Copies of this chain bind each other. A is one copy, B any other.
Amino acid sequence: MVEIRYDVLGIGNAIVDVLVAAEDAFLDEHGLVKGAMTLIDAERAEQLYAKMGAGTESSGGSAANTVAGVAALGGRACFIGKVRDDQLGSIFAHDIRAVGVDFHSIPATGGASTARCLIVVTPDAKRTMNTFLGACIELGPEDVDEDLIAASAITYLEGYLWDPPGAKEAFIKAVGAARAAGRKVALSLSDSFCVERHREEFLDLVQHHVDILFANEQEITSLYQADSFDAAMQAVRGHCEIAALTRSEKGAVIVTDDEFHIIDAEPIDQVIDTTGAGDVYAAGFLTGLAEGRSLPECGRMAGIAAAEVISHMGARAETDLKTLMKEKLG
């Protein structure tokens, strides 16, 4: 039996975010679907970037944000993802290591440049994402180290990994390795459009391979093509060990076979930018599990962490999350 060295191993697209504030009219003008993550090619990325205002760059990527959050909360975390050997790739690697996440994936030495996500933040604090996957399409099963999976209590995967073909194979290999080693598998559905692209495969995953599921209201209703949140919640119950279903200002619901918790949303002065909210929610929840906390406590940790991230621009926490948790939870 391999010794557990990490609480959470994240596998995801390694992306540098470019955040720009804009009015709603900008979305209409450029045919962008508010709140969605749309995949774009290099040419479209160039065109769109040319029309965007001046931005701020910071390391992102859904699962990467989550493991960064786990590390910020004091958990042991590592990450598998693909960058290129270029400037943005170095920035990504620097930033994730700087927050205490182990990251040893070998950068691609050729092919597309490091992925970037052009994020438009509208005045309602919603983010509309346009992802050029770049080097992420180079991620493949050869990047998944089975010993590392076996040494991690939970392997956490983002649904977005289902988009680049090689990453999907890496995803499947990782799930197999985790289950073979008796470890847990966690999945975030990522976004409702991602769910629509891959519904059948996601349903199979959730029913047969996922222990801990993260989804927001849109994602879970899309997955089950349900006409209400409640209907979707009923459907997911029993499909996986734990489902953490988030509903923005309505809080979250944690469902297991025999437990059911409603966690109110953390009070917050003003929502500035929801980028990364779901990612750090998962970080709080998984860190709570690693600390052996009860499910309601895990839910509160998740909500507190998410509230921190949505109260400022940017996808990762700006205040010391460990101190914040001590203040709020004791």
Contact = CB atoms under 8 A, between A and B. Distances in A.
- Most B C-beta atoms less than 10 A away, residue of A58, A99, A113: A58
A235 interface: no
A87 B68 contact: no
A54 B87 contact: no
Given A49-B94, A87-B88, A56 B58 contact: yes
Nearest to A90: B49
A53 B99 contact: yes
Interface in A220-239: none
B113 A56 contact: no
A186 interface: no
Looking at chain A's contact residues, the main secondary structure is mixed
Given A21-B318, A318-B21, A54 B86 contact: no
- Most B C-beta atoms less than 10 A away, residue of A21, A55, A316: A55
Interface string A1-45: 000000000000000001011000000000000000000000000
Interface in A91-138: 91, 94-96, 98-99, 113-114
A313 to B, nearest CB: 8
Nearest to A314: B56
A18 B50 CA distance: 22
Contact of A54 (B21, B53, B96, B113): B96
Given A21-B318, A86-B87, A87-B86, A56 B54 contact: no
- Most B C-beta atoms less than 10 A away, residue of A21, A54, A91, A95: A54
Interface string A51-84: 0111111110000000010000000000000000
A57 B59 CA distance: 9
A94 B59 contact: no
A94 B58 CA distance: 16
Nearest to A21: B318
B54 A68 contact: yes
A4 to B, nearest CB: 25
Given A87-B86, A87-B87, A113-B87, A98 B316 contact: no
Nearest to A54: B95
Given A21-B318, A318-B21, A91 B57 contact: yes
A94 B50 contact: yes
15 contacts: A20-B98, A50-B94, A52-B94, A53-B98, A53-B99, A54-B94, A54-B96, A54-B98, A54-B316, A55-B91, A55-B95, A56-B314, A57-B58, A86-B87, A87-B114
| In the complex, the 10 A-B pairs of residues with the closest C-beta atoms, listed nearest first | A54-B95, A57-B57, A54-B98, A87-B87, A53-B98, A56-B58, A54-B99, A87-B88, A56-B56, A86-B87
